[in-house]
Amino acid sequence: MSDSDTLKREAAERAVTYIQSGMVVGLGTGSTAVFAVRRIGALLAAGELQGIVGIPTAEVTAREAERCGVPLGSLDDYPAVDITIDGADEIDPRLNLIKGLGGALLREKIVAAASRRLIIVADESKRVAQLATRAPVPVEVIPFARRPAADYLATLGARVVERQRDGRTFITDEGNIILDCHFAGLADPAAMAARIRAQPGVVEHGLFLGMAAAAVVAGASGVVVLSA
């Protein structure tokens, strides 16, 4: 396991300590969140957690949860989520986030909004002084709106790149495309979020503002918990 993966696992396993038996738990997507899913499965198998229902934020998460023996439900049956554990691509000092490089930002935001607490797990490389200085802002767009949305996002100062995977356009679980918007930092992420959403055809963006209750961050000196 790489040093980065070791840090991710440490953060994820610390975050899982927030979970109590009987909770409905949002299961995040990505390389860090998968360690949380595996830890939950191990605690269920050992009898240390009971009565957990997981709400997956992506099909790949659902498959991993099933493999780990985590019972799954949906927001139709469990509209109130006790806690969600998910990763992030950037975390600023106010715990505003960029998420979505894994391609699941829409479902992630839906589950986060339904949650009483959103706990972010990450390694220290994800901490930034200002959002969009390292990661692009992913914007999920319906395919019909590809060109007008891309042209509009460019007027906001973004360098817009349609996401590809294996040489083909990346398609989300909801059948949409993602336009990755590269900025030279966002001084006012809330204003930019509103401007992005103003364009017809934009479904959602990867700016998660004011949503995280805490971030569990692992670094060379150990694990720290940052509170909003």
Strand ranges for 87-219 from DSSP E: 90-91, 97-98, 115-123, 137-141, 159-162, 164-165, 168-169, 177-182, 202-205, 207-208, 214-219
Residues 6 or more apart from 94 whose CB is under 8 A from it? 228
CA distance to 157, 174, 215, per residue, from 185 (Å): 10, 28, 21
Q: Virtual CA dihedral for 157, 185, 5, 166, nearest 10 degrees?
A: 10
Average pLDDT over residues 173-178: 97
Topology at the third CATH level for domain 3-127+209-227:
Rossmann fold (3.40.50)
Domain ranges of the chain: 3-127+209-227, 137-204
pLDDT of residue 4: 80
Percent residues over pLDDT 90 in the chain: 93
Catalytic position from the list 13, 90, 108, 204:
108
Q: Which of 137-146, 205-214, 216-225 is the least confident region? A: 216-225
Do 3-127+209-227 and 137-204 come out as alike in CATH topology? no
Q: Active-site residue 108, yes or no?
A: yes
pLDDT of residue 13: 94
Q: Virtual CA dihedral for 72, 51, 117, 69, nearest 10 degrees?
A: -40
Whether residue 228 has pLDDT greater than 90 = no
Across the chain, what does the average pLDDT equal? 96
Whether residue 140 has pLDDT greater than 90 = yes
Q: Are 98 and 207 in contact (CB under 8 A)?
A: yes
What predicted TM-score, i.e. pTM, was given to this entire model?
Answer: 0.95
CA distance 7 to 84: 19
Half-sphere exposure of 74 (CA within 13 A, CB side): 3
pLDDT of residue 122: 93
Q: Are 69 and 44 in contact (CB under 8 A)?
A: yes
- Please give the CATH architecture assigned to the domain spanning 137-204: 2-Layer Sandwich (3.30)
